[in-house]
Structure 1
Amino acid sequence: MATDAPLQLKKLAHIHLGVDGGAERFFVRLTRAFAKRGVEQIAFIRKDRPWRDELAEHCQVREMTFSRSHIKRHVIRWNIARQIKGFGARVTMGWMSPASKWLPKPGPDMRTFLRLGDWPDGFHTYGNVEQLIGNTPEIVRQAVEMGWPEERAHVISNFVDPLPENLQPVNRADYNTPNNATVLIHLGRFVQRKRFDLAIEAVARLPETVHAWLIGDGELLDDMKELAKKRGVTDRVHFLGWQRDPASFLKAADILLCPTDEEPLGNVVLEGWNAGLPVVATTSPGPSWLIEHGKTGLLSPCGDVDGLTDAISQISRSPNLGVTLVNKGKKTLVQQHLESTISRRYVELLGDNAT
């Protein structure tokens, strides 16, 4: 709540060049949490973002065209810095590496932060970045290993919004799924590291009562549809497209999958706990950090379809195991990933000596 800590951060500027996905959903959530704490904000984003109006409910929005031209870049950055100064913010946070090149120059009246939710890819555009924030220890560890000063690197994780008490699950029949099926749900971009192929292969090895809802879009979507056809599971693997808010789908599912090869955090793990689902994930860095195997979820080796299938089967065979994983997962969520906890850490870090 706004009164549980001295408020030091008064105004904050953001630079976010993202399109639409989990990172963007968290961006909107965190800016809303700042607003609840009385922080006035301005955000510089690309034009026509689908979450623009939701962001504008609690944050001033400036839609920009971010040019790749070296000369235009200086003009745009100067314009952003001018608007931030006019707004009165003395702290700016960029979101992901592409935002780093647009940060204003730090100085006595400006502190700059870059928030990373993915692996660092070098610091060649980080000239105006003072402090780095990673949402997992592994992101920060890699940055420090690459040469970023450890004293200027911080770990602050994510949170998810509680589900509305009156949230209704989607109707399974609308998605050609029997009510008595065991529904696996996997969300994300259809790219290689998300390993939607493992979910499809697992369904092919599991009883016919097991269905999978694959939510997302991306370059490998057609390949995954072809794989489902090849494995003979087109009637049990359902491609539901990109969903701006997947909460009602999570509410209607039985087990959340996170079978990725290289997952920095795995925000879907938090969403699974939040929705009361047992979580089955692979041992990529983020899920391995979030999940205590056998207590808050089940982990299997990356790329191991048999291990993934066995973990799903364990939960299907043992309802008590599923209940245990759900209860302990929710406990971890409450203890470590509440909005109040995460937003307070941000305010304390960003607000220090800023007002």
Structure 2
Amino acid sequence: MTNNSITPIKVAHVLAGANQGGAENFYTRLVCELAAEKEFVQYAFTRAHKIRQHAFAAANVEMHAFKFGSLVHFIDHYKYRKALKSIKPDIVMTYMNRATSLTPAGDYKLVARLGHYYDIKYYKHCDYWVGITKGICDYLINSGLPAHRVVHIPNFVNETASESIARESFSTPAGVPILFALGRLHTHKGFDILLKALAKIDTDAVLWLAGDGPEKESLQQLANQLGITERVRFLGWQSDVNALMQTADLFICPSRHEGLGSIIIEAWFNKCPMIATASQGPSELITDQKNGLVTPIDDVTALASAIKTLLANPNQAKQLAEHGYLEYQQKYSRDRIIEQYKDFFKLITQ
């Protein structure tokens, strides 16, 4: 009798990131979604984090926790490499600088996934490189990496159905427009520009700002200086972004630097009208005036004007959102991206 069973492809995913963040959330999402594909077995190597551990346990993903610290943690580094070798992976996919630099070449295909324009020195020892935007792929090729080993695969978002929440949540006054922004509170994200733009708008709109990071205190101080403290809600990290997107009137991405900007496709998926600055990822994804509005980086006046325009023209905002949703379904849906990863993994292990 012929044995028609196929040996699954073993894929180890390695992340040494923070507890929360866009890359960290996508890492968890991708590993769990790939775990449902029977041609593969997924393994997660990452720092201990309760939410991530629960997600992997629910998806039957074997997780290995390590510190992924600095050079003084050389014993932890040794244990990580030993554990990685013990599972005999066919593919190891690393996420961001530290995980990649700590992962040696081996008897597997080493794939680096890049969500930003990282220093190429951490990635030269890899066999393949996945860039989540065409711009990142061009950067990798222009940096001297072989073009035939650079692959473009975008992100997808959490497609779990969510209902909008009460607009009066977070002590928001009834009947006011709600602006929503999300991301690590870092200078790269340009939230200071958004606060200044909000201060220029003659409206009672309230900003829901979700996320945390090193700039939180300075942003709170800036809101106070601008006299808009009562119009800004610092929400911290939120687990159900879809619900917030579906509640808000506008989503704003004021970044100075943004790789893909998964938040862009999250807004599209949730049909939330969007304004973004012309940083790397958003300017590649968005067609201005069709599926979003694009303003120059660090231009407070232009951002304020775009916000006022869409708040005053809800039909235009709705049309942008509809076109954005269509863009998501055509290019960034979960099924499309998972198929691209499956095809890629099969190709490099043939």
TM-score by length of structure 1 reads 0.90
The residue aligned with 2:128 is 131
Match of 2:101 in 1: 101
1:196-225 Cα offsets, whole Å, 9 max, x none, are 112211211112321111111111111111
C-alpha distance 319-40 of structure 1, shift in aligned 2 (>3 A): same
Q: Secondary structure at the match of 2:178?
A: strand
Partner Cα separation in structure 1 for residue 268 and residue 348 of structure 2: 36
On the 8 A contact 2:31/2:44 being kept in 1, the answer is no
Range moving further from structure 2, 250-259 or 329-338: 250-259
Alignment correspondent of 2:3: none
Q: Does 1:30 align with 2:30?
A: yes
Q: Quick one: structure 1 residues 159 and 308, their matched pair in 2 at CA, closer, same or farther if it must change by over 3 Å? A: same
Deviation at 1:150, TM superposition (A): 1.7
Which of 58, 64, 71 lines up with 2:66 in the alignment? Answer: 64
Q: What is the CA deviation profile of residues 109-159 of structure 1, one whole-angstrom value per residue up to 9, with x for unaligned ones?
A: x11101011112132x43541001110111122222222222221111011
Unaligned ranges ≥5, structure 1? 1-6
Aligned equivalents of 2:14 and 2:174: distance in 1? 44
Residues 109, 348 of structure 2: 8 Å contact kept: no
Counterpart AA for 2:109: R
Q: 1:256 to 1:74 in 2, by over 3 A?
A: closer
| Alpha-carbon distance, 1:337 to partner | 0.3
> What is the CA–CA distance in structure 2 between the aligned matches of 1:271 and 1:96, rounded to whole Å?
21
Among 115, 118, 138, the alignment partner of 2:116 is 118
1:92 to partner: Cα distance:
1.1
Higher RCO (CA 8 Å, separation ≥ 6 residues): 1
* Structure 1 range deviating more: 146-155 or 215-224: 146-155
- Could you say which residue in structure 1 is the equivalent of 2:91? 91
More off after superposition, 253-262 vs 22-31: 22-31
Partner of 1:3: none
Which shifted more, 73-82 or 261-270? 73-82
User: In the alignment, which residue of structure 2 is the partner of 1:44?
Assistant: 45
Superposed displacement of residue 249, structure 1: 1.8
More displaced stretch, 183-192 vs 37-46 = 37-46
Q: CA RMSD in A?
A: 2.0
Counterpart of 1:43 in structure 2: which amino acid? A
Are 1:15 and 2:14 matched, yes or no?
yes
TM-aligned CA deviation for residue 36 of structure 1: 2.1
Counterpart of 1:36, as a letter, is: A
Q: Secondary structure of the residue that 1:93 maps to in structure 2?
A: strand
Change (3 A) 1:267 1:135: same
Residue of structure 2 aligned with 1:81, choices 76, 80, 84: 84
Q: Secondary structure at the match of 1:212?
A: strand
For 1:47 and 1:118, locate their aligned partners in 2 and report how far apart those are by CA, in whole Å. 24
Aligned to 2:151: 154
What SS does the corresponding residue of 1:343 show, helix, strand or coil?
A: helix
**Deviation of the 1:342 alpha carbon:** 0.6
Partner residue of 1:252 out of 235, 247, 250 = 247
User: Following TM superposition, by how much is the alpha carbon of 1:79 offset from its aligned partner in structure 2, in angstroms?
Assistant: 0.6
Q: Deviations over 1:266-301 (max 9, x none)?
A: 111111111211010001110011110000000000
Change in 2 beyond 3 A, CA 1:129/1:230: same
Stretch deviating more after TM superposition (7-16 or 125-134): 7-16
AA paired with 1:286?
G
Give distance in 1, aligned partners of 2:109 and 2:266.
Answer: 32
CA distance in 1, matches of 2:228, 2:180: 15
Counterpart residue identity of residue 113, structure 1? V
- Overall identity of the aligned pairs, in %: 30
Show the 5 A alignment for 1:85-234. 85=88, 89-107=89-107, 110-123=108-121, 125-126=122-123, 128-164=125-161, 167-234=162-229
Q: When the two structures are aligned, how many residues end up with a matched partner?
A: 341
The 2-side partners of 1:92 and 1:325 are apart by 39
Unmatched tracts of structure 2, length 5 or more? 1-5
Q: What's the CA shift for 1:252?
A: 1.5
Cα displacement string for residues 330-350 of structure 1 (whole angstroms, at most 9, x for unaligned residues): 000000001111111111112
Matched, 1:305 2:300: yes
**Aligned residue in 2 for 1:4:** none
Q: Is the 8 A contact 1:115 1:134 kept in 2?
A: yes
Contact 1:190/1:219 (CA < 8 Å) preserved in 2?
yes
